[in-house]
Structure formats: structure tokens, C-alpha cells
Structure 1
């Protein structure tokens, strides 16, 4: 049994980077399901549950802008054993020595509506209790944190320098879709999420990332400003079986 949530999200800038672009960052036209999940997990998450994105609504016209940013060209900071033991200075990056400029094609003035539901991991009945009780507790905590503006860390729109603002959806529901977004629009292949493969014979676990994670893509399409992620995911499973 699952319970759904709705969340209003907006921000000044957003960049959901396409993985096929190598040197420069180019954003998808809309928020990705994995990006939406990251926003929900920043607000509320427990290891016993996971967020499953059902629909993403685009509530503002899609506008792109080009900017150039200074970035470092190192993928991560290396930590030596001596640094961990305190025998030498800790890990650091000298930005002046590793700086490079990269162009970014990003989105501006974005507004989204996220619809998702909670699933309990390793779901089973214990002592005659049903799964609706723990799910309802998670849902209540999430809604309370949204009303209070609480989050574990500031959610962001693709890149950490693009903060996301969020609010509950009132009884009137989401605002109407802009006229220019009405109709059907093909968005091409989009990243759904990363799936943890694990050892042979084990059950796949989405949203647990390590070296054996496999990306899952789907052919996204937007109808009247809404990407029905659940329907697109079902079509992918029917074609590819995963």
C-alpha cells in the first residue's frame, strides 16, 4: 500500500545535466526523476523507506540561459593514510591551480510540481500489522517538515549552487499549465535513476549507489506540462524488462 504526496518547488536557476554531453553542461528541458527524488530526500528520508516519483509537472515556461562558471578539474580530493592519522596536513584543493572555465546551458525561473509516493523496503507483514501504519507515519513527518520549511540540507536544482525552495500544495491544487506547454512534447531519453545491482542472485535495490550502480533511462514525453514518470517507466519495463 502506498500514500502519495504533492510538493511545489521553484528556483531561479536549475541544471539537470545530460550525461551524453562531455565537456560542457547542458540541462534537460525539465527536472529528472532522480533530481526530484533528491529534493524529497533532502526534506525527509529514512533507511526503511524510499521515494518513488510518479509525475513531474512543469508550471512555468521553459527558458534557457548560457553562463560560464569557474570549476575545478579534479573529480575528488585524495586522502592519504598519513593525513587520516594526522601526520600531515588534511586534504585540500588549490582552486587557482586546478581552475577551468566551463559553459553551462541552464534553465531559468523554474517552477515544478512533484507527485510521488512512499514505499517501504523489504515490505512484509509482521505480527499482523499492515504496511499502511509505518507509511502513514513517514507521510505525516514529511508533511510536517514541509509546512515548517525543515530539511536535512538545502535541496538544490541539479547543482548545489542553485537552491530549491519548496512549499506544500494547497487545496486548490497546482496552478494551471502555461499555454505554451500545452500539447505533447517529446523530450528524448532521460535518466530515471541509478539502480544498485548487487551480487548475483540478489534483489535489485534502487537508490543505493556504489560501483555496481546501473543507470536506467526512459523515453520521456510531456503532455500538457506533465511528465507521467510512472507510465513512461512502465513502458520501458515492457520493452526492456527492467
Structure 2
């Protein structure tokens, strides 16, 4: 049976970008399940395990911050097959000043969440391991603050701190706010690797808590 783990996550800024905003960066009101999953995977991930977010608790009031940022409007391309053979070709580099774009962003500030997730183990992908082995590895890494890469809150420049919560009953309560938040990105469906599709669910904040439905439920649509 899967174990449910809990992380206390906090950061100065966060931006969980709404996909319907094509140009400007506008964040959802709270962290998305996909962004929460990425935090757990940054701490510990193996091909035989999967993280499923079950519950999100908002611990700090939802505060907004408007900012303008410089972004690069061009993707850096890798070497072509011709260049890999040692032949000359079009330059891969470009001047940042020529491709710089200034965009406005509506982001969150002073965020803090308590995120619950199930650790799912698929023995068919590692027949020599056990669920207990992977669970112990995650607990050890989370308790020591270890991670494969720095966890972040939506955008990589918004890094976050994390702490493994062992006893939720001793932690502070979530905010008292209750209201609908509308449709939110749940995660990407990678059944078709060449063209992944987004999945959404209708979010309701109930006394600062979001109950995340199962991936297979009818509440998740896309």
C-alpha cells in the first residue's frame, strides 16, 4: 500500500503560470499538482516510483506581486547533424540583446504550503527492489534536506525550501479562506510522448485546503 508523505514548502516568490495567458506570466492562486509533484521528484525519483499529490494546504494568505522581467524570445538550438560531423554550418549562438523581450508578470509572494503525496511503487520496473527500500531512501533524503536538483515554485528562478513533516497534528492550521478557484492544470498526459495533452480539474479552496482527485477520476478532464 502506498505511504502518504507530507512536505512543508515555502518560498519568497512563486509563479504557476496559467496556460491560457499566452504572453504575460499570470500565476494561479495556489500551487498546481504538477508543480507539487515536481518538488517531490526533485528530492527523490526513480523509474520504478511515481508521486501522486492527494492534498494541498495553503498556510500563508494569498498575496500578489507585479513585476516586469527580461526574457529571451528565442530557443537556443543544438548542433545539426552536419555540424556533428565537423562541417561548418549556421552559428548556434545569438546575441541576447537582440532577442530580449520585456514581459509583465503577476506572481505570488510569501507562499507556504503543506503538500501531501502518495509514493507509488511499480515492482515490474525494478524486480530486485521493494517498496520499503524506496520509502526509506526518500525519508532519509527529505530529513537531511537532500535533493537531486533545487526544488522550485513554478519557475526555476523561484527556488523553495522544504521540510519533511512527520506529525501533521503538531503543525499550524491552514488559512480559513473558502472559495472556488476555477479550472486548474492538473498535469500533463504523456501517453502520446510526441504530443502530450494537458489535464484540468475544477478547484475549490475549503478552509485553505484543496483535495486533489485521483488521476483516473471523472473530475480530471482534458
Q: TM-score, normalised by structure 1?
A: 0.82
Q: How many residues align?
A: 219
Deviations 1:109-140 (A, max 9, x none): 1001110001123769x7xx9xxx82222121
Which range is displaced more, 76-85 or 28-37?
76-85
- Distance in 1 (CA, whole Å) between partners of 2:203 and 2:95 is 40
- The structure showing larger relative contact order (alpha-carbon pairs under 8 Å, at least 6 residues apart) is 2
How much is the aligned-residue C-alpha RMSD, in angstroms?
Answer: 2.4
Matched residue SS, 1:224: coil
Q: Per the alignment, do residues 32 and 86 of structure 1 end up closer, same or farther by CA in structure 2, a change over 3 Å counting?
A: farther
Deviations 1:8-54 (A, max 9, x none): 10000000000000110100000000000011100000001110000
Correspondence list, 1:147-158, <5 A: 147-158=143-154
Deviation at 1:87, TM superposition (A): 4.5
Question: Residues 83 and 91 of structure 1 are in contact (CA less than 8 Å); yes or no, is this contact kept in structure 2?
Answer: no
- Distance in 2 (CA, whole Å) between partners of 1:138 and 1:173 is 26
Question: Residues 185 and 221 of structure 1 are in contact (CA less than 8 Å); yes or no, is this contact kept in structure 2?
Answer: yes
Correspondence list, 1:7-156, <5 A: 7-87=7-87, 91-121=92-122, 134-156=130-152
Deviation at 1:175, TM superposition (A): 1.4
Partner of residue 186, structure 2: 192
Question: Residues 15 and 155 of structure 2 are in contact (CA less than 8 Å); yes or no, is this contact kept in structure 1?
Answer: yes
Question: Residues 14 and 110 of structure 1 are in contact (CA less than 8 Å); yes or no, is this contact kept in structure 2?
Answer: yes
- Distance in 2 (CA, whole Å) between partners of 1:232 and 1:49 is 16
Matched residue SS, 1:137: helix
- Distance in 2 (CA, whole Å) between partners of 1:81 and 1:232 is 40
Q: Per the alignment, do residues 183 and 98 of structure 1 end up closer, same or farther by CA in structure 2, a change over 3 Å counting?
A: closer
Matched residue SS, 1:119: strand
Matched residue SS, 2:157: coil
In the alignment, does 2:215 pair up with 1:215? Answer: no
- Distance in 2 (CA, whole Å) between partners of 1:93 and 1:212 is 28
Would you tell me which structure has more strand in proportion to its own residues? 2
Deviations 1:61-89 (A, max 9, x none): 00000000000011442432244345459
Q: TM-score, normalised by structure 2?
A: 0.89
Unaligned runs of 5+ in 2: none
Matched residue SS, 1:10: strand
Deviation at 1:2, TM superposition (A): 1.1
